[in-house]
Amino acid sequence: MNRVICTSTSSFQTVCQRHFRAALWITFAIVTLASSGWSAAEDRPNIVVIMVDDMGFSDIGPYGSEIPTPHLDALAANGAKFSQFYNTGRCCPTRAALLTGLYSHQTGIGWMTTDQKVEGYRGRLNDQCVTIGEVLGQAGYFTAMTGKWHVGFKQGVTPWGRGFNRSLNLPAGGLHFFNQTGSKGGTKLFLNGHEVAKDDPQFDPPWYGSDLWTEQGNEFIDEAIAEDKPFFWYLAHVAPHFPCMAPEATIAKYRGKYMDGWDKLREERYARQIQSGLIDASWSLEPRPEQIPAWESLSQEEKERYDDMMAIYAAMIEEVDKNIGKLVSALDSRGKLDNTLILFLSDNGGNAEAGVSGRYEGDSPGDPHSDVFIGRCWAHLNNTPFRKYKHYNHEGGIATPLIAHWPAKIQPSTDQKAWIKTPTHVIDLMATCVDLAKAEYPTQFNGNEIHPLEGQSLQPLLTGQGEFAERALYWEHEGNAAVRVGNRKLVRQGARGEWELFDLDADRTEQVNLAAENPDEVSNLQKQWRQWAKSHQVLPKPTKKKKKK
Angle at alpha carbon of residue 140, lines to 135 and 146, rounded to 5°: 65
pLDDT of the residue at 22: 39
Q: What is the pLDDT of residue 51?
A: 98
**Of 478, 536, 501, 427, whose CA–CA distance to 90 is shortest?**
478
In total, the chain counts a number of residues equal to: 549
Note if 91 is an active site residue: yes
**Residue 43, pLDDT score:** 84
Ranges of each domain in the chain? 46-466, 470-540
Per-residue model confidence (pLDDT) at position 42:
60
The CATH number of domain 46-466 is 3.40.720.10: yes
pTM: 0.92
Give the tens place of pLDDT for each residue, 412-422: 777 777 999 99
How many angstroms from the chain centroid is the CA of residue 296?
34
All residue ranges of the chain with pLDDT < 50 are 1-41, 546-549
Nearest Cα residue to 256 out of 331, 295, 311, 175: 311
User: What is the reported pLDDT for 545?
Assistant: 59
- Whether residue 256 contacts residue 307, with contact meaning beta carbons closer than 8 Å, is answered with yes
How far is the CA of 401 from the CAs of 60, 69, 194, 404, 473, in angstroms? 9, 13, 34, 10, 17
Q: For 540, phi and psi rounded to 5 degrees? A: -75, 150
Which of 71, 92, 129, 150 does the annotation list as catalytic?
150
Any idea which architecture 470-540 has in CATH? Answer: 2-Layer Sandwich (3.30)
Question: Do 292 and 262 form a contact (C-beta atoms < 8 A)?
Answer: yes
* Three-state secondary structure string covering 358-386: CEEECCCCCCCCCEEECHHHHHHHHCCCC
Burial bucket for residue 31 (CB in 10 Å: 0-12, 13-18, 19+)? exposed
Would you state the pLDDT for residue 161? 97
Strands (E), 387-439: 399-405, 424-425
Strands of the sheet with 488-492, listed across from one edge: 473-477, 480-485, 488-492, 500-503
Q: Residues with Cβ < 8 Å from 245, sequence gap 6 or more?
A: 176, 177, 180, 312, 316, 366, 367, 368, 370, 372
For residue 150, indicate whether it is catalytic: yes
**Cα–Cα dist 38/229, whole Å:** 10
Q: What rounded mean pLDDT belongs to the chain?
A: 92
Active-site position among 91, 92, 129, 377: 91
